Amino acid sequence: MIGRLRGVLLEKRAPFLLLDVQGVGYELEAPMSTFYVLPEMGAEVILYTHLVVRDDAHLLYAFASEKERGLFRNLIRVNGVGAKLGLAILSGIEVESFSRCVHEGDTASLTRLPGVGKKTAERLIVEMRDRLFEGPREGLVGGYSQVGSGQAPVSDAVSALTALGYKPQEASRIVRQLNTEGLATEEIIRQALQRMLKS
């Protein structure tokens, strides 16, 4: 199992990353909560990882902290929650807020997340109550990124939201409602997710 990687950030196009670790390029998928705190491309970063082995692929998921990775690992153990939905949940809600929703039985907040219906929200609350944990929030070098992937930040943001489970039309509509001038892709995605969770 690959549990942690330290390397140079070569590419980032939500939800995908490319990390150079001593000449080996690791392709990773990460939630937006990790993208928000990535350094600029070319900088060194430490990421906590989780490897999923399928018949047709080995997929490596990356997280900014052990706490996020721990929540992801607990989420994918819930019946009906796969890795894609786990990433979408982490992209739409912070670990502490998710914990609060579970402890308070707040299904309304959970159903605002992409891919989470009422039954899934109820199942998350029942199955996650005993699995939540406390842990250190650490493991990232650097701060917020202002570097795009080379394409327009708006189209990158729409692509990322679609990859997280939102319908393309819905993602485009929400992004169009934002004042995106001068914003990095990650900030556009953050504002779009906040607006979607309030609607």
Q: What six digits make up the tokens of 19?
A: 């990390």
Q: Domain residue spans in the chain?
A: 4-63, 66-134, 153-197
Report pLDDT for 62. 96
In terms of CATH, what superfamily is 4-63?
A: Nucleic acid-binding proteins (2.40.50.140)
The CATH architecture one would assign to domain 66-134 is Orthogonal Bundle (1.10)
Report pLDDT for 195. 84
Note whether 158 and 13 are within 8 A (CB).
no
What 49-58 contacts at long range (C-beta under 8 Å, 24+ apart), as own/partner pairs, is 49/2, 49/3, 49/4, 49/5, 51/1, 51/2, 52/76, 52/83
Report pLDDT for 142. 31
The CATH architecture one would assign to domain 153-197 is Orthogonal Bundle (1.10)
Instruction: For residue range 95-145, list pLDDT tens digits in order.
Output: 888 988 988 889 999 999 988 999 999 999 888 876 664 333 333 333 323
Secondary structure class of 189 (helix, strand, coil): helix
